[in-house]
């Protein structure tokens, strides 16, 4: 439960119709199994104590009493166990029989939730056996004690306020207005669904989309537990199709026709962060809801769910290629609109032979093509200086020629040396002044050539560099339109690889692959033996780590301590914890210290859910302090 993670499960036990004793034994086995695996919320199928397919046996007093006795046994079995169990049974209240879920914890029944929507379209005819509950909560007497009974119950964990549990039963999800909508609007972050959904051809796909879609619409965790084998097969078959979803993502799923228990973790902090950001998510509407508090000790939660080390990059190759193409389209259309609106004659791009300028040039070519213009309107300028290597210069020139753009080579070494003399800076002092003078000279050249040609300077800097402030203020930091500003370095690499893989021009493909193989470098320090001497990741740290930190800090608002633990799990030994901690500290410091560079960014197209535009998704004071964030890391 630490860091907002809650281990949950859906269990479909073996079952015999109307045999409460047998069914109870199997339920207890599943409780013990889940408890041993650290599960805190365990959901069973609809009417699991008796079986869903008892038909008119539900009217039998013997079955009703057998179900109550079994509930007593199950509740007693939970004593001393910190696990919320939700079981289904027929329950008599005020002389009416209800299809109910009983929520159990530590030997007690916290509440009964009756099914709201009773189907009447198959041979079981639930309306034949069960009553429709009243629209308001009541109190029922169970074992001589008053217990909440109703469809508007919220079960709230006192130690973990993010955990607010609500229950709906099978058909309650399948109707036009699912019960869980009201639950979520009242504050429920986790929905448990006890179901008995018969299996027909194609129904599993629909069921899957229904559960994941509902979890996305409600921004919640959703546990769907289905009845399985053992139910009567007189006229239909049940497959035990269990599903656990979180905000549109399927976290766990059972195979059909298996008596299985699926276990995973719901990230409740993540759900709360998303709800807090979405102003369109209505404020809590708790009217007529009864909140039942319960206690669970906060303990570390072992993770079994997938935490990708590359959160910006889809793991599926097809999805990855689709994303790369979509991003290129967004960039190109954004640039084309700006070029068209500004009525500029040219696009001016500084091309270094590195990844960022490579992508910017590819986007420029695509934008020009969209407008039906000649690629010669792209003026690609390479500006060699002290640190430029033949490899990067050669790749830059080759790429420009292969894209049929206009190539200019402007040597800036003497201009920078003249500037050094003007400001009395010794060339032998290779400090930040030495480096930034080159970057600013390059920007001046680009801007002036744009003036000469009525052009628009295309920015090349990426999201990762903006997060770290790895840009020269009023140097490569500045442009007239920054096409890469919301794309992290790790994703840029995949976009360039996608273009290379799909290129018809074999020469261009070869050049792009060599650019991908070139170390990331600003090339501001003199080369050594003709090779790059300045590797960015040696100085600021691995971009794959920084992109991971950026994603969880900005997208989900996680604190550094949680990000650190997630990184250890995601990178799984690729970096020792001490290394992750080192670069996370540096990331936090630089992210705060360099905000002033982001506060005056040029326009740029948003392509994903993480962007640092001061006009869009990230607004932060330039003088905000990172004391609390660093202190959190010190406490690890």
CA distance 557 to 387: 39
Going by C-alpha positions, the residue among 79, 95, 88, 11 that lies closest to residue 54 is 88
Q: Edge-to-edge strand order for the sheet containing 41-43?
A: 138-142, 145-149, 108-114, 96-105, 84-93, 41-43, 5-11, 261-267
Cα torsion for 207, 213, 218, 221, to the nearest 10°?
60
- Residue 295 burial (10 A CB sphere; 0-12, 13-18, 19+): exposed
Both tokens of 413, joined, read: 């070494």
The residues annotated with a catalytic role in the active site are 46, 115, 170
Laid out side by side, the sheet with 406-409 consists of: 406-409, 378-382, 346-350, 455-459, 481-482
37: nearest Cα among 74, 13, 7, 2: 7
207, containing H or E segment: helix 203-218
Q: How far is CA 436 from CA 6, 416, 430, 472, 473, in A?
A: 49, 10, 10, 6, 8
Give me 184's structure tokens. Answer: 């979520």
Rounded distance between C-alpha atoms, residue 173 and residue 154, angstroms: 17
- List residues bridging with 481 in a β-sheet: 458
Instruction: Say if CB 98 and CB 115 are below 8 A apart.
Output: yes
How far apart (Å, rounded) are the C-alpha atoms in residues 477 and 487?
15
Q: Measured between alpha carbons, how far is 97 from 225 in angstroms, rounded to an integer? A: 22
Query: What is the sign, positive or negative, of the torsion defined by CA atoms of 286, 290, 294, 300?
Result: negative
CA–CA dist 141, 273 (Å, integer): 39
CA angle 49, 52, 55 (to 5 degrees): 115
Distance CA 634, CA 636 (A): 6
């Amino acid at each position: 439960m630490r860091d907002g993670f809650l281990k949950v499960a859906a269990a479909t036990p073996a079952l015999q119709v109307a045999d409460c004793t047998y069914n109870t034994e199997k339920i207890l086995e599943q409780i013990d199994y889940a408890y041993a695996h650290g599960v805190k919320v365990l959901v069973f199928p609809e009417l699991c104590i008796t079986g869903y397919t008892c038909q008119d046996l539900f009217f039998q007093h013997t079955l009703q009493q057998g179900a109550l006795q079994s509930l007593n046994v199950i509740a007693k079995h939970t004593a001393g166990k910190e696990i919320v169990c939700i079981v289904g049974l027929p329950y008599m209240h005020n002389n009416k029989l209800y299809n109910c879920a009983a929520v159990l914890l530590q030997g007690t029944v916290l509440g009964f939730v009756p099914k709201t929507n009773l189907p009447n379209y198959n041979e079981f005819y639930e309306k034949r056996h069960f009553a429709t509950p009243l629209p308001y909560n009541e109190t029922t007497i169970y074992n001589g004690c008053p217990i909440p009974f109703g469809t508007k119950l919220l079960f709230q964990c006192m130690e973990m306020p993010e955990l607010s549990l609500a229950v709906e039963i099978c058909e309650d999800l399948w109707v036009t207005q699912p019960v869980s909508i009201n639950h979520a609007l009242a504050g429920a972050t986790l929905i448990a669904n006890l179901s008995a959904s018969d299996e027909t051809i194609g129904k599993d796909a629909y069921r899957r989309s229904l559960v994941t879609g509902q979890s996305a619409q409600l921004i919640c965790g959703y546990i769907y537990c289905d009845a399985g084998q053992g139910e009567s097969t007189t006229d239909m078959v049940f497959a035990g199709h269990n599903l656990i979803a979180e905000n549109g993502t399927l976290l766990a799923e059972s195979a059909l026709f298996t008596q299985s228990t699926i276990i995973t973790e719901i990230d409740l902090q993540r759900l709360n962060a998303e709800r807090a950001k979405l102003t369109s998510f209505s404020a809590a509407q708790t009217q007529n809801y009864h909140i039942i508090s319960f206690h669970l000790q906060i303990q570390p939660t072992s993770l079994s769910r997938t935490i990708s080390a590359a959160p910006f990059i889809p793991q599926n190759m097809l999805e990855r290629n689709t994303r790369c193409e979509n991003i290129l389209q967004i960039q190109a259309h954004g640039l084309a609109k700006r070029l068209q609106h500004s009525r500029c004659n040219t696009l001016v791009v500084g091309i270094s032979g590195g990844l960022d300028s490579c992508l910017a040039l590819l986007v420029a070519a695509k934008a020009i093509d969209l407008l039906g213009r000649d690629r010669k309107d792209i003026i690609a300028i390479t500006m060699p200086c002290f640190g430029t290597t033949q490899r990067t210069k050669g790749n830059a020139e080759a790429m420009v020629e292969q894209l049929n753009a206009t190539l200019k080579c402007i040597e800036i070494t003497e201009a920078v040396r003249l500037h050094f003399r003007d400001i009395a800076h010794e060339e032998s002092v290779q400090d930040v002044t030495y480096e930034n003078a080159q970057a600013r000279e390059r920007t001046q050249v680009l801007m002036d050539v744009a003036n000469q040609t009525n052009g628009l300077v295309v920015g090349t800097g990426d999201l990762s560099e903006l997060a770290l402030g790895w840009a020269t203020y009023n140097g490569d930091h500045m442009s007239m339109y920054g096409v890469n500003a919301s794309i992290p370095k790790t994703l840029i690499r995949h976009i360039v690889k996608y273009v290379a893989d799909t290129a018809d021009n074999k020469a261009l493909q070869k050049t792009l692959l060599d650019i991908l193989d070139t170390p990331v470098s600003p090339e501001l320090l003199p080369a050594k033996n003709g090779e790059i001497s300045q590797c960015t990741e040696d100085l600021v740290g691995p971009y794959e780590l920084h992109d991971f930190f950026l994603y969880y800090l900005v997208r989900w608002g996680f604190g550094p301590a949680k990000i650190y633990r997630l990184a250890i799990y995601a990178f799984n030994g690729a970096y020792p914890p001490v290394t992750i901690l080192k670069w996370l500290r540096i990331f936090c410091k630089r992210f705060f210290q360099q905000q002033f560079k982001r506060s005056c960014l040029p326009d740029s197209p948003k392509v994903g859910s993480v962007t640092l535009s001061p006009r869009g998704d990230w607004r932060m004071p330039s003088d905000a302090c990172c004391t609390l964030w660093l202190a959190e890391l010190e406490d690890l």
